[in-house]
Copies of this chain bind each other. A is one copy, B any other.
Amino acid sequence: MAARKSGQAKNKAGDILRSPCPVACLLDICGDRWTLLVIRDLMFGRSRFKDFTASPEGIPTNILSDRLNRLLRHGLAEQVPAEDGSLRMGYRLTEKGRALRPVLESMRDWALKWEPSTKAMMP
């Protein structure tokens, strides 16, 4: 018999899309107050759980744990052995994750222009 028809488009992680709109799809992956801040930290080269909790926004650890797993599930990040030779693992952006750089840059540029109390952060 024919393959089961889902009738619904899905993203690469298998979640049903709200609509075919690419913006809606990205928001289903990253559309909350924390995910893009974790990606920002990853772009700054941070890789360990503790590094993310040290950021000034103070992400709760349960949220961080959930968001890191979501990034793994959606293929934006991957786990790699920590660079310091320890047995622990660190997180690193994949190519798909690094491709979000223009999104973060345009967000940064917008806020620097329109919300003057913000300041570009040096990693």
Q: How many residues of A contact B (CB 8 A)?
A: 50
The interface centre, meaning the residue of A11, A22, A104 with most chain B CB atoms within 10 A of its CB, is A22
Question: A109 contacts the other chain (Cβ, under 8 Å)?
Answer: yes
- A23-31, A45-53, A79-87: which one contacts chain B? A23-31
Copies of this chain, count: 2
Given A21-B121, A33-B27, CB of A103 within 8 Å of CB of B107: yes
- Chain B residues with CB under 8 A of A107: 22-23, 26-27, 103
A4 on the interface (CB 8 Å rule)?
no
Most buried by B among A40, A105, A113, A118: A118
Smallest Cβ distance from A99 to chain B, in angstroms?
A: 6
